Chain A
Amino acid sequence: MLLIHCPYCAEARPEVEFAYGGQAHIARPLDPSALSDADWEQYLYIRNNPRGRHHERWRHAHGCGRFFNAVRDTVTDKFEVTYPAGEAAR
């Protein structure tokens, strides 16, 4: 079980307290109706599947309840860093 550092609670807590939220830094388009079908498809479905550094969202669901972003290595499963939602990608 992973230990995950919640950037709001400032504590490493066990994975069972958290919920995974998919790839990070995909902003919802401000005006979806202006998007072509291809661009909307890109937003809806197309995700990275890297070997190595992966930016992803987590929620401290059974803690403070807040969403944050993380960089995790998909090979080692190690978290490189976690940081509050809204901050630039690390």
Chain B
Amino acid sequence: MSGYRLPTGGRVDRAKSVSFSFDGQSYTGLAGDNLASALVANGVTLFGRSFKYHRPRGILGMGSEEPNALVTVDRGPGRTTPNLRAPSVPLHSGLVASSQNRFPSLKFDLGAVNDKLGAFFPAGFYNKTFMWPRSAWEKLYEPAIRQMAGLGDSPTSRDPDHYASTYAHCEVLVVGAGPAGIEAALAAAQSGDRVILVDEQEEIGGGALADPAQWAWLTDARAQLLALSNVQLLERTTAIAHLHQNFVVAVQRLTDHVAPAQAQGAREKLWRIRAARVVLAQGAIERPLVFDGNDVPGVMLASAGRSLALRFGVAPGHAVAVMATHDSGWHDALALAKAGVHIVAIIDVRDDVSSDLLDAAGAAGIAVHLNHAVIGVGGRHAVKSVTIAAAGSSAARTLSCDCLLMAGGWTPTVHLWSHAKGSLRWDADWAAYLPDSIDDNVIAVGGGAGAWNYGSGVAVSNLPSPKPVHQQKAFVDFQNDVKARDIRLAVQEGFRSIEHIKRYTTNGMATDQGKTSNINGLQIASEVLSKPVTAVGLTTFRPPYTPQTFGALMGHHKDALFQPLRRTVIDDWAVANGAVFENVAQWRRARYFPQGSETMDQAVARECLAVRERVGMFDASTLGKIEVVGPDAAEFLNRMYTNPWKSLEPGRCRYGLLLREDGFIVDDGVSARLAPDRFHLTTTTGGAARVLGMMEDYLQTEWSDLDVWLTSTTEQYAVIAVQGPLARAVIAPLVAGIDLSHEAFPHMAVREGTICGVPTRLFRVSFTGELGFEVNVAAEHGLAVWQAIHEAGQAHGIVPYGTETMHVLRAEKGYIIVGQDTDGTLTPDDAGLGWAVGKKKPDFVGKRSLARPDIVGAGRKQLVGLLTKDPQVVLEEGAQIVADPAQPVPMTMLGHVTSSYHSATLGRSIALAMLVDGRAKLGETIYVPMPGGTIAAEVTGMVFLDPKGSRLDA
């Protein structure tokens, strides 16, 4: 059918036709149309299939409240957007849209069998029906239900668009540019305040867009707004959240209204706006009426009919009936009649309607049926007739029509008010909740505040009908297919709280968040519970106001900008030398340096052997570093760490262990005393910021009497570890001012001098078990010193190695990595580090907890070594350990593998593990059950190589 475009009227540009397609068929609309108005103009009434019953659906509303007409718009590969509301899709040339949730086609949909089986799908049906057998849920029921009950499909390829974001500040933010919002913005602008006005539609005006009498004012007001330098007008911008202290988040759509080929720049922009005052002028949404057949395509809100006719110049039907419980339906009917739409009749449940309206209807030649209600709708894919009856009478009559408008009153839009924790009050005249009080500087104006006189009405939860409720297909929530009888059933089954009724029936839980269903659902629940609406409660409105793209929320934070990537000064060299990298606490670290076609295992084995036999070099710049300075520096460290620090001589280093007050290990590292009042601390790579924060906390809030300064120096130093029996020989020619001999510069000592002519803090320390040095130089010299050491090392067969090799080397020596071999529940004793606790110290952070009954008792997990019976089998890190592999599941788990590698030096696998009473099990066999079979291993000590440490003293 065609010919729905009215000969005159509307804000569309009749000189500019726009071609587009829907479900593969080509249509023509006009510039200024949206997808819904253009399709209705072409005689399309069927827009989609409903969520659960696959019932045919048309449009209900013409704004962002639309629950039925969800479409997918295809703008090219990676640019499909599902679940867009057809009235919110601006029309442009070449628009490609399709309907959703139907197979094989919209008109013939196999899923519609659900509608016939509706009796088997009452509220909560999935909780009741698909309980048995339990195993079938995951494999059978859930996939089947998801297939049947669905929204649109997510795009499968990468989104090529980019998204912008910005911050803005203003004195006054106005949300909603209907007449009230526009007047508020203009008034605020007079005072010179910075004003931002946001509106979600293609053009500002709100309700005035469907009222030609206001167009001259609207044109003038828009021109005024644009002329004011202190007003920022954001069209196509939806305020989605109103958070603390007037922080409002809005999404601006920048390109979706033009054809893809014309789109330039970011697709959307996220605005984070902080406003001294927020004016909410969100308007009100018309309420559907609940009756049998109220979802047949062609049944829509009266406001939608008005918008179609007066804003877009499209008749909602050739013969339109109006079902009203509110005066606004009469105003709309009269306006449509004046615009040339044939109004068949106005039906109203009231028997008392103002004489002005009756006279006007009479003058327009419109039949009026007072004290009547629609009790049925003829037609399946489109309205063919409506059946009406007088209240209490079974005498029905049928009116032929192809459209039925519903005017059930208005629900002020209080979503953003509620986001900001504003309270609401029930208003009996509106039969709706209105804004009441709020802490922040927010006011609500216009229809959203109830400050709008559009006549009066009565609130009717269900239209009277001779048909029993359980036989009616009377929908409350169109998008989630919730019927009036589902809400009654929920109450009968014992649900009392509206929050529970909502979740059981899913009323208001769809992507439209109950914009058209909340109050009707509430009124039905109130009626069945025989409680006033205010005693039933109201569900909570949560952001976002309308669904948004992930792209807008994410903005630039993707790919390289997803999170900061920290690179050491040696990173470029590592790239040039073929390093394979891993990210550690936002640092990019070389993991190993493969040569030729080496695998990781081959490269790591070669690097390990080089360090053990000759010498290797390692970029340790990512180690956390804190300079601790002041007369009380030693006292401070003595209180923080488990170890004694006051006795440490300047020029010496000490392994420090840091606990939380609960007694568990939080960090470790080797630190050096450079002078009586100066320490160079190191922390784990990932723990640097946490340790500094913890130390600042104690220093500022517990021990503010101590005279100590803490400075993060992590990025000020490059650190080059030179490790292996030939380490001294490699650096000796480069170092000046330091006696490198073992006697003058023993293990765990620090010296200051120069290397390659630049100042260095040279540590003699080892995380490999070999003779080793860690060269600290100012970061700007790091690369040059690295290259010089690499050059000098060539004669000694030096090899650069990465973090994977470092892990194997330290595991061979039983050195732990905090966070890998510990999990926040290990004490020093659990980790085999009891020697690092100063027994004579009166106090340190966590000391008291080491005497807790649960920590001194038996049965704790302790770190031990594991050697698999088959030396070539490498255990999986994280694998669970049991004592008896024959025990039926669930087995008693004794712990897990924390570190596990193949050791090239030892020619076999090694592992560290947390094991209940591990040290009492030395020599025993434990088992690690794996999918491929159970692995047996012997419990050993943690040191696999050079237990006496003689290699350190080379």
Contact between chains at B697 and A67 (CB < 8 Å) = yes
Contact indicator B700/A33 (Cβ below 8 Å):
no
Whole-angstrom CA separation of A56 from B695 in the bound complex: 19
Beyond A32-B848, A76-B439, A85-B701, is A59–B661 a contact (Cβ under 8 Å)? no
Q: Which stretch of B239-247, B313-321, B473-481 is in the interface? A: B239-247
Contact A33 B245 (CB under 8 A): no
Cβ of A67 and Cβ of B700 under 8 Å apart? yes
Q: With CB as the reference atom, state the residue of chain A lying closest to B702.
A: A28
Could you tell me the distance in whole angstroms from the C-beta of B687 to the nearest C-beta in chain A? 16
- Cβ contacts under 8 Å, A17 to chain B: none
Residue of A nearest to B843 (CB): A32
Expressed in whole angstroms, the Cα–Cα distance for A43 and B439 within the complex equals 35
Please indicate the chain A residues that have their CB under 8 angstroms from the CB of B247 in the complex. Answer: 1, 3
Interface string of B839-875 (1 = CB under 8 A from A): 0001100011101110000000000000000000000
A71 CB → nearest B CB, Å: 15
Q: List 5 other contacts, CB 8 Å, given A57-B701, A65-B696.
A: A28-B661, A33-B842, A40-B849, A59-B693, A78-B439
Instruction: Determine whether A19 belongs to the interface, using a CB cutoff of 8 Å to chain B.
Output: yes
Q: Judging by beta carbons under 8 Å apart, are A31 and B843 in contact?
A: yes
Q: Are A77 and B244 in contact (CB under 8 A)?
A: yes
Interface 0/1 of A40-68, CB less than 8 Å to B:
10011000000000000101010001110
B925-946: contact bitstring with A at CB < 8 Å (1 yes, 0 no)? 0000000000000000000000
What are 14 A-to-B residue pairs whose CB atoms are below 8 Å? Answer: A1-B244, A1-B247, A1-B272, A3-B247, A3-B274, A27-B702, A31-B842, A31-B843, A33-B851, A37-B852, A37-B853, A43-B661, A59-B697, A67-B701
Contact between B697 and A44, CB atoms less than 8 A apart: no
Residue picked from B439, B662, B697, B848, most chain A C-beta under 10 Å: B848
Task: Check A35 for interface membership: any CB of B closer than 8 A.
Answer: yes
Task: Decide: A85 and B849 in contact? CB cutoff 8 A.
Answer: no
Contacts of A85 in B (CB 8 A): 700-701, 704
Which residues from chain A contact B849 at a C-beta distance below 8 Å? 40, 44
Chain A residues within 8 Å of B421, by CB: 76-77
Verify B245–A86 contact, CB threshold 8 A: no
Complex CA distance for A85 and B697, rounded to whole angstroms: 11
A contact set with B: CB distance below 8 Å: 1-3, 19, 21, 27-28, 31-33, 35, 37, 40, 43-44, 57, 59, 61, 65-67, 76-78, 85-86
Q: Which of B255-288 contact A (CB under 8 A)?
A: 272, 274
| A32, B697: Cα distance in complex, Å | 18
- Once bound together, how far apart are the Cα atoms of A21 and B696, in whole Å? 12
Bound Cα distance A36, B631 (Å): 34
| Residue pair A44, B847 in contact (C-beta under 8 Å) | no
Q: How many A-B residue pairs have CB under 8 A?
A: 57
Q: How far is the CA of A35 from the CA of B852 in the complex (A)?
A: 11
Contacts of A28 in B (CB 8 A): 661, 702
Given contacts A1-B243, A37-B852, contact A66 B700 (CB under 8 A): yes
- B contact residues around A76 at 8 Å (CB): 421, 439
Interface residues of B in 671-708 (CB under 8 A from A): 693, 696-697, 700-702, 704
Docked Cα-Cα span, A13 to B55, in Å, equals 52
Please provide the chain B residues from 225 to 258 with a CB less than 8 Å away from any CB of chain A in the complex: 243-245, 247
Give the distance to chain B from A41, nearest Cβ to Cβ, in Å. Answer: 8
Which A residues are CB-close (under 8 A) to B852? 37, 40
B848, A35: Cβ atoms under 8 Å?
Answer: yes
Q: Which chain B residues lie closer than 8 Å to A86 at the CB level? A: 701, 704
For residue A20, give the distance in angstroms from its CB to the closest CB of chain B. Answer: 12
Contact A44-B661, Cβ < 8 Å, known A3-B245, A76-B439, A78-B439: yes
Cα–Cα distance between A32 and B693 once the two chains are bound (Å): 22
Min distance, Cβ A74 to any Cβ of chain B, angstroms: 12
Chain A proximity of B855: nearest CB distance (Å): 11
Q: How far is the CA of A59 from the CA of B692 in the complex (A)?
A: 13
Q: Please, how many angstroms separate the alpha-carbon atoms of A31 and B661 in the complex?
A: 13
Indicate if the CB atoms of B847 and A33 lie closer than 8 Å: yes
Chain B residues with CB below 8 A from A31, complex form? 842-843
A66 CA to B28 CA, complexed, in Å: 64
Binary flags per residue of B622-634, CB closer than 8 Å to A gives 1, else 0: 0000000000000
Q: Within 8 Å CB of A1, what residues of B? A: 243-245, 247, 272
The 8 closest A-B pairs by CB, nearest first: A32-B848, A67-B700, A3-B245, A28-B702, A1-B247, A2-B244, A85-B701, A67-B701
A61 touches B693 (CB 8 A): yes
Q: Which residues does chain A contribute within 8 Å of B274, judged by CB atoms?
A: 3
Flag if A19 contacts B693 (CB, 8 Å): yes
Shortest CB-to-CB span from B273 to chain A, Å, is 11
When A19-B693, A67-B697 are in contact, do A32 and B847 touch as well, CB less than 8 Å? yes
- Name the distance in Å between A30's Cβ and chain B's nearest Cβ: 9
User: Which residues of chain B are near A65, meaning CB under 8 Å?
Assistant: 696
Complex Cα spacing A28 to B845, Å: 10
| A6-B177 Cα distance, complex, nearest whole Å | 36
Q: Which residue of A lies closest to B853 (CB)?
A: A37
